[in-house]
Amino acid sequence: MVSFEMNDRKKIGLGLTGFGIFFSILGIIFFFDKGLLAMGNILFISGVTLTIGPKSTMQFFMKRQNFKGTISFGVGFFFVVIGWPIFGMILEAYGFIVLFSGFWPTLAVFLQRIPVLGWLFEQPYVKSLFDRYRGRRVPV
């Protein structure tokens, strides 16, 4: 059973995840600086582990349908560390998309409920993109 209460460990995990994303974006802005990208990856992975717990993290990354994303993300991280940041970030981005592709419909529903962004996502062209990706309409 997953606990939805916000304890100190989860708060620290969310902070580390946020800093990981921040350092990764900063590393991309500074022309794929491998130090910032590696720091962002380490903070992101440790933040996810603290947020959902070590056991849930291992179960998530070791699911059979997530192997392709896990391996791609891991190899991309390795390439960032050894000094090939552009190729490593491409592999990591692919792995991230494959790993978290199950969360996109949930994110789409969340974005549709935000006041300004919701109006944007209700436009016919954007809505048709979401419908084509999911194959069905999201109940609002």
CB 49 within 8 A of CB 16: no
Element (H, E) at 58: helix 54-61
Please give the Cα distance from 26 to 15 (Å, whole number). Answer: 16
Q: What is the pLDDT along the chain (140 residues), one digit of tens a residue?
A: 555 678 999 999 999 999 999 999 999 999 999 999 999 999 999 999 999 999 999 999 999 999 999 999 999 999 999 999 999 999 999 999 998 888 877 777 777 788 887 888 788 887 777 676 665 544 44
Please give the Cα distance from 125 to 90 (Å, whole number). Answer: 28
Tokens representing residue 95 in the block: 């792995």
Q: What is the pLDDT of residue 117?
A: 78
Q: What is the pLDDT of residue 138?
A: 44
